[in-house]
Structure 1
Amino acid sequence: MPPAAPSPILRRRRLGTELRRLREAAGLTGDQVIERIGWASASKLSRLENGRSRPDPADVADLLTLYKVDDELRDELLGITREAGDMRGWLRNFPVMTQQQRGFAELEAGCAQIWEYNPVLVPGLLQTPGYARYRIISASQVADEAGEPDVEDPETEVRARLARQSLLTRSPDAPRYTAVLEEAALGRRAGPPEVLREQLVQLCDLAMLPNVTLHLLLRDTRVADWYLPPTAFSVYRFADPLDPETLAIEGGFTDVMSTEVNTLNRYKVVFEWLCSAALSASDTLSWLIEATGRQTDPAGSTVAPGSVAAPVQRRRAPGPLTTDR
């Protein structure tokens, strides 16, 4: 596997922050910059400074010249510019990915640690081809009926999702990945029995990777103070300490990403609560192994107290979100 690459999304945001800082230090307004460089679009600078567009090295070089940036900082920022526009390896092979999946793929690039929770689905990084295919095709059908098709080729989307999963086994710098799975995500509504059994087998295999920790939250388990997480979310920590932790809140068709510290801290507390309420990693693996034999209903009912997967009120929370190996 290739080494971890910088996250293009984070590089764009860092570059934008630096460009805005340099413009303000030069005492220039956005309109003045547009006029002096001769750009036709007034929104071009705004998109660059807000990290919303892939930067053109020539455009960034023009800005750095205007701002009279010294050679050392210029070289650093042009390097970040190249990283911000580099889709890295397999991602270039899937240009028709939906914007939603591309956003997650870019966040995962260069990631050192991921915490993930989804109340209704197996997270994308853990999905089998069959499970992913049902998720992508059904979402595509909703978009088509709404008159806003967003998937040109579902099979390409499936292959792209599977390619994203290579980061869990890349060597030597695979990220540490911890996920809390809901029992409902493995229930009958998620797909045919053979698809669910294949998914359970894959979860067993992934749970045995040294960098992967899975926790199962059983259907009737109470989270601290009866808390109910309202949505799926992920927290990303990056190898480069200058790239801020990032929160991704996943909606059905739109996602919100934030680096705001107070919001991040709240979701990190929620994740710790979920891990504490869920089965331990070893009990989760035992539950998954047992469930592979229940092909007609892999998660049909909560395991009875006293069995290997009996609910436990408090479990050890995950370690601090850190890049330490």
Structure 2
Amino acid sequence: MPPAAPSPIMRRRRLGLELRRLREAAGLTGDQVIERIGWASASKLSRLENGRSRPDPQDVAVLLALYGADEALHTELLGIAGEAGDMRGWLKNFPVMTQQQRSWAELEAGCVEISEYNPVLVPGLLQTPGYAKMRILSAREVGAGAGEPEPGDDIDTEVQARMARQSLLNREADAPRYTAVLEEAALGNRAGPPEVLHEQLVQLCELALLPNVTLHVLLRDTPVGNWYLPPTAFSVYRFADPLDPETLAIEGGFTDVMSTEVIPLNSYKVVFEWLCTAALTASETLSWLIESTGRLTEAVPPSTVAFGPATAPTQRRRDSGRLTER
């Protein structure tokens, strides 16, 4: 993987916030802007200001001229517009990316730090193909009949897209610092058949040894804070550009919410610190994962186990393809 490019989705949001600020500073309404520059639809400006569309640098240049932006700001925002709109290089790194996975991949791109917690699942950036496929299939069974799948939205493509996202953890250059708190229940018998869980545990053992990855297992009977119970899965993203706001993503099973509002984001950061404090340390977590893998090996039919009893990997290793080689 090449060095991290700026997050496309954050570039769009950053540009949109700046364009709205400049419009308001110029004392113009959205309708007045549309009338003066002759755009056919008011929704075009709304989509730009809300970061919901890929910007055309020519459109951005017209707006900046109307708002009277100075030369330095004009140059900066046109550069951001170019990064937000040019997806060719980004898509080249993710040739199998589906629409569902693309929004997450765009958010993760350019991150310098990712913190994640999930009460019932292994986070997507840590999943094996078998675990990911099982999770996608079980979710689709619940949503069966809700509508036709999008073109190319088959199970295998969706799994490949999730695996493509994981490459950022194994990047040689500027890989983000990644910390996750995993509930013990996410790796219990309810999560899947023994062979799938065994493979997932082996991968977690390997990932835990990467210098940029820190994993914590939260045991089921360990209290958090003053008996606090986290109500939902969440992730916090911090970006290389300090002017790109930290972003909170809250997973709700069948819908996701993203926010850059400071107050709720700081609340979730406090919760994450509580979770890390309550959970096993990184070294204790690796020992727990190795022991759990060894116990599960006995339950897996020999034909499905290709790597023997679980032992601690002797070295950190990276490769340019999948996270692990088996």
Query: How far off its partner does 1:83 sit?
Result: 1.3
Partner of 2:223: 222
Counterpart AA for 1:111? C
Counterpart AA for 1:52? R
- Structure 1: where are the runs of 5+ without partners? 299-325
From the superposition, tell whether residues 80 and 182 of structure 1 become closer, same or farther in structure 2 (CA, over 3 Å).
Answer: same
Q: Distance in 2 between matches of 1:288 and 1:128?
A: 15
CA contact (8 A) 1:57 1:81 kept: yes
Partner of 1:104: 104
Q: Deviations over 1:210-249 (max 9, x none)?
A: 1111000011111111110000001111111111111111
Q: Deviations over 1:180-216 (max 9, x none)?
A: 0001001122221111000000000000011111000
Superposed, which structure 2 residues align to 1:91-240 within 5 Å?
93-94=95-96, 96-98=98-100, 101-147=101-147, 149=149, 152-240=153-241
Partner of 1:269: 270
From the superposition, tell whether residues 123 and 146 of structure 1 become closer, same or farther in structure 2 (CA, over 3 Å).
Answer: same
Matched residue SS, 1:229: coil
CA contact (8 A) 2:97 2:161 kept: no
Query: How far off its partner does 1:160 sit?
Result: 0.9
Q: Distance in 1 between matches of 2:137 and 2:244?
A: 34
From the superposition, tell whether residues 247 and 138 of structure 1 become closer, same or farther in structure 2 (CA, over 3 Å).
Answer: same
CA contact (8 A) 1:181 1:217 kept: yes
Query: How far off its partner does 1:157 sit?
Result: 1.1
CA contact (8 A) 2:2 2:173 kept: no
CA contact (8 A) 2:236 2:269 kept: yes
Q: Distance in 2 between matches of 1:211 and 1:218?
A: 23
From the superposition, tell whether residues 35 and 44 of structure 1 become closer, same or farther in structure 2 (CA, over 3 Å).
Answer: same
Matched residue SS, 2:274: helix
Counterpart AA for 1:140? R
Counterpart AA for 2:78? L
Query: What is the number of residues matched between the two proteins?
Result: 296
Q: Distance in 2 between matches of 1:212 and 1:96?
A: 26
CA contact (8 A) 2:105 2:165 kept: yes
Q: Distance in 2 between matches of 1:289 and 1:108?
A: 28
Q: CA RMSD in A?
A: 1.8
Q: Distance in 1 between matches of 2:247 and 2:298?
A: 36
Partner of 2:312: none
Query: How far off its partner does 1:95 sit?
Result: 5.2
Q: Distance in 2 between matches of 1:161 and 1:240?
A: 25
Query: What's the TM-score once normalised by structure 1's chain length?
Result: 0.86
Partner of 1:257: 258
Q: Distance in 2 between matches of 1:79 and 1:200?
A: 43
Partner of 1:303: none
Q: Distance in 1 between matches of 2:258 and 2:240?
A: 19
Matched residue SS, 2:180: strand
Q: Percent identity?
A: 78
Matched residue SS, 1:295: helix
Partner of 1:315: none
CA contact (8 A) 1:90 1:163 kept: no
CA contact (8 A) 1:114 1:236 kept: yes
Matched residue SS, 1:257: strand
CA contact (8 A) 1:187 1:297 kept: no
Query: How far off its partner does 1:70 sit?
Result: 3.3
Query: What's the TM-score once normalised by structure 2's chain length?
Result: 0.86
CA contact (8 A) 1:7 1:110 kept: yes
Counterpart AA for 2:32? Q
Q: Distance in 1 between matches of 2:55 and 2:142?
A: 33
Partner of 1:32: 32
Query: How far off its partner does 1:86 sit?
Result: 3.5
Q: Distance in 2 between matches of 1:56 and 1:140?
A: 36
- Structure 2: where are the runs of 5+ without partners? 300-326
